[in-house]
Amino acid sequence: AAATTRVVDDIVSAALDRRSYRWVELDSGLRALLISDANSDKAAAALEVKTGHFDDPADVAGLAHFTEHMMFLGTESFPDERSFKDFIGRHGGSSNAFTGMESTGYHFGVNANALPEALGRFASFFAEPLLREDSARREMQAVHSEFQRNLQSDQRRIFQLLKSTCDPAHPFSKFSTGSLETLGGAAAAARGAPHELVRSFFETHYEPRRMTLCVLGQQPLDELEELVGKSFAGLARLVRSPLTAGAEALSAGPALEDASAGAFSAEAGSERALGDGLVQSGSGHGGAALAGPFTAAQRGGLLTMEPVREARMLRLLWEVEKEEAYVQSRATRLASAVLGSEVEGSLHWLLTRHLRPPLATSVSAGVSYSFSDSSLFSVAVSLTPEGL
């Protein structure tokens, strides 16, 4: 089992919360929040890796997302592609994953008594994935199908419109989903076969010190700690010392670094709080002071889009500081509550009930997109025909 190098038990929780909590860090650098709930009939775990599509090479768009898909398709200990999903299904559970801009998450839920084996199978994703060539060929089709579905999603179309019209030097501009063209076209092929690119991305970015785990189970905290140490012991072989940037890590293999990522590719900043706190400050993409995804010339612009489905929406976006800047003041939450309020005298009340005819059917506000260098705060108004 992996040794625990740090333990924190005095975690603040709500007065009526009967669960017990512990934060630990393993010698590999993996950090984990353990939650003991003796009365729960379900168990669950989630692991987030601090890498996302911002780390995609410029000419292999969607590689982070493709890698996420590939992680489920067999490990050295459990080589069958359906082994994990079948096990979870037999024990009353489910699993899923997502690829974000600067993080990738994996999670499952299962009947409480199945947690020990489920967690061991889950951990093998990150310690010994097979990432096979034949699996890659099939899974590229699954990624492409997802891309094609997104073409009919107005929310995804808005997302891509913002990305396509932002500062091309900012990683927000990257195409996130991937397709047969971006993952298997000539540019990607020049770097290597699809499964080789996935392997290189995994070896570069799936480092234990970039991983954070949360486990909930019926077991006491000491047992959960032992279970996590045993299940994730295999991560120790993935540790690189020091934690290197992508270009350095791939000096002996296919080069996945790209100049356009700039400060968002560097890894030096990711350890900025590993030695002195429980929360990382920023995503670790070099710590450079970036100005956000839009240039001065692009701010104040107007974008229009014809929807696939019948819809009328006005969306206003402001570039503000990264979310961490508002942790203490909760300014973005306060602004969201005020602007999204439905009480008499509010913007919602004015547009949906007071004016005749009504100009809107709903009003919402909040942080729409969050980056390590900035955030985009939005107010979205669903309009009536008269409001348009």
| Average pLDDT score over residue span 338-360 | 97
- Residues forming a β-bridge with 48: 105, 212
CA angle 123/236/124 to nearest 5° reads 20
**211-217 and 42-49: which strand pairing?**
antiparallel
Enzyme catalytic residues: 68
| Average pLDDT score over residue span 210-214 | 98
| Average pLDDT score over residue span 290-304 | 88
State the pLDDT at residue 1: 78
H helices present in the chain, as ranges? 63-70, 83-90, 115-127, 133-150, 154-164, 180-184, 186-191, 194-205, 221-231, 246-249, 331-340, 347-349
**Helical (H) or strand (E) element with 368:** strand 360-370
| Average pLDDT score over residue span 377-382 | 97
Residues 101-139 as b/e (b if ≥16 CB within 10 A, e otherwise) read bbbbbbbbbbebebbeebbbbbbbbbbbbbbbeebbeeb
CA within 13 Å, CB half, 138:
8
State the pLDDT at residue 242: 63
| Average pLDDT score over residue span 262-267 | 36
State the pLDDT at residue 297: 87
Cα–Cα distance for residue pair 314/167, rounded to 1 Å: 22
On the question of pLDDT at 260 being above 50, the answer is no
**360-370 and 313-320: which strand pairing?**
unpaired
Cα–Cα distance for residue pair 1/230, rounded to 1 Å: 4
More confident residue, 46 or 285: 46
Token pair for 167:
């500062």
pLDDT band at residue 239 using 50, 70 and 90 as cut-offs: confident
Token pair for 267:
């890894």
On the question of pLDDT at 198 being above 80, the answer is yes
Cα–Cα distance for residue pair 145/149, rounded to 1 Å: 6
| Average pLDDT score over residue span 151-178 | 96
On the question of pLDDT at 277 being above 50, the answer is no
Compute CA distances 49 → 9, 31, 333, 383, whole Å. 24, 11, 26, 39
On the question of pLDDT at 153 being above 90, the answer is yes
Tell me the whole-structure pTM to 2 decimals.
Answer: 0.86
| Average pLDDT score over residue span 297-322 | 94
pLDDT band at residue 4 using 50, 70 and 90 as cut-offs: confident
Q: Mean pLDDT in the chain?
A: 88
DSSP assignments along 169-192, one per residue: TSGGGS--S--HHHHHSHHHHHH-
Closest C-alpha among 50, 49, 53, 75 to residue 132: 75
Chain segment 100-141, per-residue pLDDT in tens = 999 999 999 999 999 999 999 999 999 999 999 999 999 999
| Average pLDDT score over residue span 360-368 | 97
Token pair for 31:
């950090």
State the pLDDT at residue 310: 94
Instruction: Give percent above pLDDT 70 in the chain.
Output: 87
State the pLDDT at residue 5: 86
pLDDT band at residue 291 using 50, 70 and 90 as cut-offs: confident
DSSP assignments along 270-321, one per residue: GGTTTTT-SS-SS--STT-----SS-TTTTT-------SSS--EEEEEEEE-
On the question of pLDDT at 248 being above 50, the answer is no
Q: Which residue has the tokens 């801009």?
A: 101
Q: Which residue has the tokens 């295999």?
A: 234
pLDDT band at residue 281 using 50, 70 and 90 as cut-offs: very low
More confident residue, 12 or 267: 12
State the pLDDT at residue 243: 59
